[in-house]
């Protein structure tokens, strides 16, 4: 599946950095989490309603990250997120953070669809359709 990339813009604040003025490594994970939430919202998926109606939520199952260049205080960053694969209960995403044309961070994130009891469950058909733009 060729990812249709969603873009999320953000600014690095002082609170995001360490003593050297470089983004603290764990904050990249916060940046991509925000971008995933906004990508899902942009697809017309209301996660609170999905939990209330279908009793399902998404959780990170696996994450592989590469820290390529340091981002710094006051940088303007763009997080690009795209769906790589969907299986019955999993969504694999590509997430990349750019400062202008320079890629500073890259991650592949696997989400799993869970029931209220924490067991994996199939991704609802309407969610699959919104994420892929296809009809099943």
Planar angle of CA 49, 87, 103, nearest 5 degrees: 85
Catalytic member of 16, 18, 46, 102? 18
Active-site residue flag, 74: no
- Bridge-partner residues for 76, per DSSP? 11
Residues belonging to the active site: 18
């Amino acid at each position: 599946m060729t990812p249709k990339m969603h873009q999320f813009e953000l600014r690095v604040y002082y609170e995001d950095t360490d003593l050297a003025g470089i983004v603290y490594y764990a904050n990249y994970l916060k940046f991509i989490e925000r971008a995933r939430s906004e990508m899902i919202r942009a697809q017309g998926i209301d996660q609170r309603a999905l939990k209330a109606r279908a009793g399902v939520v998404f959780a990170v199952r696996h994450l592989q990250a590469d820290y390529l260049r340091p981002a710094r205080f006051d940088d303007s960053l763009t997080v690009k997120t795209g769906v790589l694969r969907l299986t019955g209960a999993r969504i694999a995403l590509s997430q990349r953070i750019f400062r202008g044309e320079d890629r500073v961070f890259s991650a592949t994130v696997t989400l799993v669809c869970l029931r209220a009891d924490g067991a994996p469950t199939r991704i609802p058909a309407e969610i699959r359709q919104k994420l892929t733009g296809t009809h099943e």
